[in-house]
Amino acid sequence: MKRIKITYNKIKDKVVKKAKEIKNGHLIREYFKNNILFVTFVITGVLSSTILRFFCMHTIENYLSFKAILADLVVVSAIGSLGYLFKPKNRFPYYMTMNIFLTAICMINSVYYTFYTSFASVSMLSLTQYIGDVGDAVVQNVLQIKDLIYIFSPITLIIVHLKLKKKNYYKRFELKSDRRKKTLKTLSFSGILLIIFLISLSPLDYSRFYKQWNKEYIVMKFGIYIYQGEDLIVSLQPKINSMFGYNKAEKEFTDYFKDRNEYTGTNEYTNIFEGKNVILIHGESMMRNAMDLSFNGIEVTPTLNRLAKQGMFFSNFYSQVSVGTSSDSELTYNTSLMPTKSGTAFVSYSDRTYISTPKLLKEKGYYTFSMHANNADFWNRRAMHKSLGYDRFYSKKDYKVTKDNTIGLGLSDKEFFKQSVAKIKKINEQHDKWYGLTIMLSNHTPFSDVEKYGDYSVDIKETVTKEDGTTEEVTYPYMEGTKLGNYFKSLHYADSALGEFIDELDAEGLLDNTIIVLYGDHDARLPRADYNKLYNYNMETHQFLSEDDPNYKEYDSFQYEIGRRVPFIIWSKDMEGTKLNQEVTNVMGMYDVMPTLGNMLGFNNKYALGHDIFNIKDNNLVVFPNGNWVTNKMYYNSQKEAYLSLSDEPITEEEINKNSEYANKLMSQLQKKK
């Protein structure tokens, strides 16, 4: 009994002594002193991820999110704990390697978010083969100084390492058993943090983590490192499903469409284009907002404006792309499916069987073809166009491309259309009915071939009367020299090429029994700051208004997202003055094109995710790959859980919940059949 009491007193004394040391900061100082490299590794790793959220999600709530910081701390400390398994002199190479890895994650996601407003997916590594084709676009339009700030992390680690080496810090001797103890203690600490983190999560957090389509929300709640790890697992799903889970996925997909009979049936436009030839124009980076702009009395898009005025113009149209950009537009247009939540369908799912517009038209006796004067394997189009049902794909090898007739990434649009007319004329001679896709290229980022776009000024010219009564023309710089200004020049050129294409088709008699369908594939992905300049130029001072000016018009994130609308036009030379000659203002997405156009051409896809806009009308809801959605009444940002009202009608919480549930269900099922 006496021995037990003595032992108890010894333990008690040790605990009291430790408590006093902690209170006085002695133990903390000793820990930092003996674990400088580990602590530096952890601090820089967590700080890098915090900086990433700061640049991507501009609110204190987001970049100082307790959950995200805790999650990143769990991962970084767990990785760092393994460094103790090495001898002191061998720890720096391990920490440096891991530090570079974590820095690369943050830097890649920083660059990626600038262009896609989303976070990177491991599956996109399969697309690195295409970087050479768009390298200039990445450097000029995406890479920014802020993306280089993350190199502070390895630099800091190197500086600390050199100082420690100078002080002979690594010559300490540690027993192997002591190194194991340190590893286990640090791992245990990480485990405790993990438990605290898991307890802090809500059911909604777990649900969105599992579904993964709302990437911004996941990074905000789970940190960038856990997101990237989970994304790696999700990226392997296509192969896993192919081996084990395809039958189950197919059943879930089929069950989803059993009750989707609402807003179907015939309407006044049913079969109205049956038997007509179709020329589909894929308008690279064409934006709806540009159609409203003029510089010095000259419209940016006179051809688009004419087609919209003479044809059927869907003025509230969204492309619904994800990281696959142009290829995502092609997929959704042709199948009424949504892009994949990781990677791109054109690369990951090109071997699947699709119900597509070309295939359904082939059943009606059409010859189908696609034309794009770029490398046939860019976005894996060679394989995917075959899967979609095109009988022939005319690619770069089928066109005469020289140094003098190229703009941007390849053959200029004017030369592309000129050479394509001859091919279409031959097809028309050989086939009674045909359906052809033409993909434009010149208006592709980085919009830097300004000298080749022709003479289109985006400054402001004004005739001023001087005191002596004479006049002179004064030029104000306005959008000259900005990326957005160069985009307008590029778009004006592309629009001009489009006008020449239509004239040449008409001259060859190819418009007599033909409809033209045109869509913008996605927005130009340009900096929001340039739009602020567009709307805040002061001619009197020749400068841009500052944010403090009472006349300053803020182009906030909601307006930027809404501004991503693209044109969608159906036109024929004899449409003006008929019932088809109208503006359709109801909100519409790319997945609504197939059922809408299919009803007009006389085919139907029962697995379409979208609706015929003339059946669903103002009840339509357009869901985006990141979980956001838009109706005639509001635009809802699921990451921010906030909305922008688009009408004077009242908005209820019940309506938001109902629409979010619909979007949630659609996002959960859309990939089951891929």
Taking the CA atoms of residue 134, residue 54, residue 537 and residue 458 in that order, the dihedral angle to the nearest 10 degrees is: 0
Which residue is it, tokens 């921010």? 640
More confident residue, 52 or 439: 439
Helices (H), 323-404: 325-335, 345-348, 357-362, 381-388
CB 498 within 8 A of CB 308: no
pLDDT in tens, 122-138: 766 655 555 555 444 44
User: What pLDDT is stored for residue 672 in this prediction?
Assistant: 47
Query: Is pLDDT above 80 for 11?
Result: no
Which residue is it, tokens 């007193």? 9
Tokens of 648: 């004077």
Query: Is pLDDT above 60 for 73?
Result: yes
Over residues 393-410, mean pLDDT: 94
Beta strands, E only, 412-476: 434-439, 460-465, 471-476
Residue 646's nearest CA partner among 655, 638, 636 is 636
Tokens of 541: 């001072």
Least confident of 8-12, 197-201, 511-515, 589-593: 8-12
Query: Is pLDDT above 50 for 673?
Result: no
Tokens of 463: 């005739």
Sign of the four-CA dihedral 225, 227, 230, 234: negative
CA dist 360 and 416 (Å) reads 27
CB 627 within 8 A of CB 604: no
Which residue is it, tokens 């990785």? 79
User: What pLDDT is stored for residue 61 in this prediction?
Assistant: 62
Query: Is pLDDT above 70 for 523?
Result: yes
Q: Are strands 367-371 and 410-411 parallel, antiparallel or unpaired?
A: unpaired
Least confident of 32-41, 380-389, 622-631, 646-655: 32-41
Tokens of 400: 């005469």
Tokens of 37: 């490299």
Question: Average model confidence (pLDDT) for the chain?
Answer: 87
Helix (H) or strand (E) holding 584: strand 582-584
Please state, for a pLDDT cut of 70, what percent of the chain lies above it. 86
Q: Is 294 helix (H, G, I), strand (E, B) or coil?
A: strand
Query: Is pLDDT above 60 for 16?
Result: no
The distance of Cα 223 from the centroid of its chain, to the nearest Å, equals 20
Over residues 385-413, mean pLDDT: 95
Say if residue 372 is exposed, middle or buried (CB neighbours under 10 Å; 0-12, 13-18, 19+).
Answer: buried
pLDDT in tens, 317-365: 999 998 888 999 999 999 999 998 777 888 888 888 999 999 999 999 9
Instruction: State phi, psi for 159 to the nearest 5 degrees.
Output: -60, -45
CA dist 62 and 432 (Å) reads 59
User: What pLDDT is stored for residue 509 in this prediction?
Assistant: 97
More confident residue, 86 or 581: 581
Query: Is pLDDT above 90 for 669?
Result: no
Instruction: State phi, psi for 391 to the nearest 5 degrees.
Output: -70, -30
* DSSP for residue 340: P
Q: Is 403 helix (H, G, I), strand (E, B) or coil?
A: coil
Please state, for a pLDDT cut of 90, what percent of the chain lies above it. 59
Q: Is 636 helix (H, G, I), strand (E, B) or coil?
A: strand
**For residue 59, what pLDDT band results from cuts at 50, 70 and 90?**
low
* DSSP for residue 368: E
Over residues 517-536, mean pLDDT: 90
User: What pLDDT is stored for residue 60 in this prediction?
Assistant: 61
What residues pair up with 97 in beta bridges, in sequence order? none
User: What pLDDT is stored for residue 241 in this prediction?
Assistant: 55
* DSSP for residue 538: E
* DSSP for residue 633: S
User: What pLDDT is stored for residue 345 in this prediction?
Assistant: 86
Query: Is pLDDT above 70 for 220?
Result: yes
**For residue 674, what pLDDT band results from cuts at 50, 70 and 90?**
very low
Helix (H) and strand (E) counts in the chain: 25, 22
Over residues 233-256, mean pLDDT: 61
Q: Which domains does the chain have, with CATH numbers?
A: 35-237 (no CATH), 253-265+275-669 (3.40.720.10)
φ/ψ bin of 641: left (φ > 0), alpha (ψ from -120 to 50), beta (otherwise): left
Query: Is pLDDT above 80 for 1?
Result: no
Show the CA angle centred on residue 548, arms to residues 544 and 551, nearest 5°.
65
Q: Is 519 helix (H, G, I), strand (E, B) or coil?
A: strand
CB 95 within 8 A of CB 83: yes
CB 623 within 8 A of CB 631: no
Helix (H) or strand (E) holding 583: strand 582-584
Query: Is pLDDT above 80 for 10?
Result: no
The one-letter amino acid code at 472 reads: E
Residue 634's CB is within 10 A of a number of other CB atoms, namely 18
The one-letter amino acid code at 270 reads: T
pLDDT in tens, 94-112: 999 999 999 999 998 888 8
Q: Is 318 helix (H, G, I), strand (E, B) or coil?
A: strand
Burial of 281-314, coded b for 16+ CB within 10 Å and e otherwise, reads bbbbbbbbbbbebebeeebbbbbbbbbbebbbbb
- Cα 593 to Cα 230, 371, 512, 608, 632: the distances in Å are 33, 20, 23, 10, 17
Tokens of 355: 């119900």
**For residue 554, what pLDDT band results from cuts at 50, 70 and 90?**
confident
Over residues 635-660, mean pLDDT: 92
CA dist 224 and 63 (Å) reads 11
Residue 301's nearest CA partner among 498, 114, 467 is 498
Over residues 148-166, mean pLDDT: 93
CA dist 236 and 233 (Å) reads 5
Query: Is pLDDT above 90 for 289?
Result: yes
Over residues 281-288, mean pLDDT: 97
Sign of the four-CA dihedral 581, 587, 592, 593: positive
